[in-house]
């Protein structure tokens, strides 16, 4: 009896997903709980595991196709059922070791390489396999594509040294390659784009800037970083300081922790801080729930775990939902200054940037200090400019004098 692979419920209000890519090929064996296919929703990419061990016998939905929650996208045969139904199988050339195959036979294609061969329009005979037993993995296909693109064009005839170039018909040799590649946007990327445009169209966004002297925080990290890591098994980063500073400032200026809901303003008496992290699929914003109750170590552990699982596409949907305020650190990519966009329905987002040593005036003297520009974008519908400026100034003061975070003054 075949096992149905159905689209599970992947989150509140999500009714359909897009097939991100099959991790197993048709006819390939799969172990129980092993990921079979990735599913892209509006909020995240999730993996669908195999309910039983067996063979992926039939794929109904290909990559890029849309499937509704509950829809069957593939069938599996339990271990032993496929063999019993088919009877004794003849040896397949693709599974024979390389030394047993005829010299003219194409290399055996591993399942993950089948789609790449078809997409690139390659001939199997042109590709030298490096996999075990003479098999052809996906990396070999991609390597062949890169080599083909990287071949230099045929030598062209010398070009005239005159100021005015000769007519096109006087030139010889092939024209330089002008290639284009059309790639559909992932469902996550489309949703991010839609939400950012929505924020620009519905909210009255304004950004205020300031700069922070990072000397005290850097000194504190240097003094206690080693003992902190030894005790908590995690590095003491800058993000925990900024999360603490934001919570402190949001308590003083609650409009930046609120949202517009119809004709009402909803003030949140909790602080769920979204932390923007990069992933292969784009920017995602997992949420630190009740950040006001988290210690420095708990914040650093949570952010490190978010970043790791974002790279592996293993974040859970509920971890990406909600949030009352967001922090985005463009400084890790080298950004010196930017204007972040709020994540609706939130009313504020803090942008951190790169730390640079710059000359600044201190007590009538010019000194070199590690400085960071920060930007606070806010929804002017419910946040006055004065509140936003004071809120950012409060964050600045907390980072420049981190002891006040402990004293709560």
Point out the residues that are catalytic: 380, 384
CA angle 52, 83, 114 (to 5 degrees): 75
Residue with tokens 């119809």: 262
> Rg of the chain over CA atoms, in angstroms?
28
Tokens of 363: 């007590």
Q: What's the CA gap between 221 and 238, in Å, rounded?
A: 9
Tokens of 122: 């390659």
Return d(Cα 66, Cα 18) in angstroms, integer. Answer: 4
Q: Tokens standing for 239?
A: 């993000």
Q: How many CA atoms lie within 13 A of 341 on its CB side?
A: 14
- For the chain, helix (H) and strand (E) counts, in that order, are 9, 21
Alpha carbon 286 to chain centroid distance? 11
Residues 202, 380: Cα–Cα separation, whole Å: 11
Q: Is 264 exposed, middle or buried (0-12, 13-18, 19+ CB in 10 A)?
A: exposed
Spatial separation of the C-alpha atoms in residues 355 and 282, rounded to whole Å? 24
Question: Which residues, at least 6 apart from 242, have a Cβ–Cβ distance to it below 8 Å?
Answer: 327, 350, 352, 395, 399
**Cα dihedral sign for 42, 280, 110, 184?**
positive
Coil/strand/helix, residue 230: helix
Q: Nearest Cα to 327, choosing from 291, 379, 274, 278?
A: 274
How do 135-136 and 108-109 pair as beta strands? parallel
Q: 93 φ, ψ to 5°?
A: -60, -35
Alpha carbon 262 to chain centroid distance? 32
Of the candidates 273, 332, 352, 280, the one whose C-alpha atom is nearest the C-alpha of residue 309 is: 280
């Amino acid at each position: 009896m075949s096992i149905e692979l159905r689209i599970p419920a992947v989150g509140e209000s999500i009714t359909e997903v897009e097939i991100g890519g099959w991790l197993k090929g048709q006819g390939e064996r799969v172990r129980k709980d092993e990921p079979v296919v990735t599913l892209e929703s509006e909020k995240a990419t999730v993996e669908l595991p195999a309910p039983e061990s067996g063979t992926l016998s039939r794929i109904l939905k290909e990559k890029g196709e849309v499937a509704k929650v509950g829809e069957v996208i593939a069938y599996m045969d339990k271990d032993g059922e496929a063999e019993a139904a088919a009877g004794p199988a003849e040896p397949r050339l693709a599974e024979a070791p390389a030394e047993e195959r005829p010299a003219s036979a194409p290399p055996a294609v591993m399942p993950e390489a089948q789609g790449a061969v078809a997409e690139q329009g390659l001939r199997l005979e042109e590709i030298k396999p490096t996999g075990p037993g003479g098999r052809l993995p996906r990396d070999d296909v991609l390597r062949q594509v890169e080599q083909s693109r990287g071949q230099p064009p045929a030598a062209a005839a010398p070009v005239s040294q005159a100021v005015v170039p000769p007519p096109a018909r006087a030139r010889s040799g092939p024209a330089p390659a002008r290639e284009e590649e059309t790639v559909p946007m992932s469902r996550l990327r489309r949703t991010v784009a839609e939400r950012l445009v929505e924020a620009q169209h519905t909210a009255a966004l304004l950004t205020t800037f300031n700069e922070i002297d990072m000397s005290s925080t850097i000194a504190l990290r240097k003094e206690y970083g080693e003992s902190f890591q030894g005790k908590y098994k995690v590095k003491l980063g800058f993000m925990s300081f900024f999360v603490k500073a934001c919570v402190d400032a949001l308590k003083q200026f609650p409009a930046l922790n609120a949202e517009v809901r119809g004709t009402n303003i909803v003030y949140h008496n909790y602080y769920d801080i979204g932390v923007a992290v990069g992933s292969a699929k784009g920017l995602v914003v997992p949420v630190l729930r009740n950040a006001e109750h988290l210690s420095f170590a708990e914040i650093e552990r949570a952010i490190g775990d978010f970043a790791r699982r974002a790279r592996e596409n293993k974040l859970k949907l509920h971890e990406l939902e909600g949030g009352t305020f967001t922090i985005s650190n463009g400084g890790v990519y080298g950004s010196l200054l930017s204007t972040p966009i709020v994540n609706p329905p939130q009313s504020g987002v803090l942008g951190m940037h790169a730390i640079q040593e710059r000359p600044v005036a201190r007590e009538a003297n010019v000194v070199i200090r590690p400085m960071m520009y920060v930007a606070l974008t806010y929804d002017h519908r419910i946040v006055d400019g004065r509140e936003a400026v004071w809120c950012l100034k409060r964050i600045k003061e907390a980072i420049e004098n981190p002891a006040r975070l402990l004293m709560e003054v």
